[in-house]
Structure 1
Amino acid sequence: MTLSKPKQVIFNKAQEYCEQKGVRFTPLRASVYRILLQEDASIGAYDLLDKLRNTEDNAKPPTVYRALDFFLELGLVHKVESNNTFKACHHFGCSHPVQFLICDECGDVQEIQSQGVKETLEAQAKENAFTILTQTIEAHGICKNCQDKAA
């Protein structure tokens, strides 16, 4: 399974990040992460399992879920809550709010960082004596490619 050069750079950084954290980036985890990096859309656990079975004949659902839990804990993957899928994070190693633009036509998922969203949300939470532990914002719509195809 070959990755494009930019995605291979991300893969290598993820591998190094795991080494720095003292956790194992096993061959099986590497296979799962490669699949996640290859996808433009987010991917569900069972679709991920189907793709993994192309190289790992005996892969089972717990195998995929353990790998996903591992990546989620390290911040290498985000969960797209609205459709229960997963997307590789390209700027891991830092705590950051997650914002997604999700195309309802092709399934493409773009992670973005909108200026002021985090600060506005935190200010409103503070006004309501609320402590935010995590923040994920998902916006559903139609991407430019799908809009162009429809035109």
Structure 2
Amino acid sequence: MTDSHSPCSGCSGRRDFLRTALTGAASIAALSALGPVNAISALVPRAAGGAVRYTLPAVDGVSIDSANEVILCRSHGEVFAFALSCPHQNTALKTMPKNAGFQCPRHKSKYLPNGTFVSGRATRNMDRLPITRDGVQIVVDPDVALASDLDPAKWAAALVKI
């Protein structure tokens, strides 16, 4: 006979909750070291359907090119390029306080600086853009959005190590 009031009934629920809460808190705390948010522009105006070039970010932080709808994020020795819009319903993403990642202002989905989904209504990571390094420049193709659920290998490879 099982006792529904035994001390361990519901233990796994509490453990799951604590694990999730602690993981989220540790992730947010680790992200507070990112630098400032900057507005940037492509080095050369973008030709129709062409790639854009940016100066390699010198420090950790977020740079946003509204004209080309690109977010550049340098974090812990890596640079990522993202589509400016949330993958859930295409609302422009905002940076979180102290650059602790990104948040969709519409439905409160949150993402780490590398674009990994943390919480909210979205069902996947932020869309990364193809990115390469050419000397002291970063080259981004804003016309090709890489979705982590459709092409996980290309999404994972879309970064530049510094």
TM-score, length-scaled by structure 2: 0.27
Indicate the structure with greater helix content.
1
Indicate the structure with greater strand content.
2
TM-score, length-scaled by structure 1: 0.29
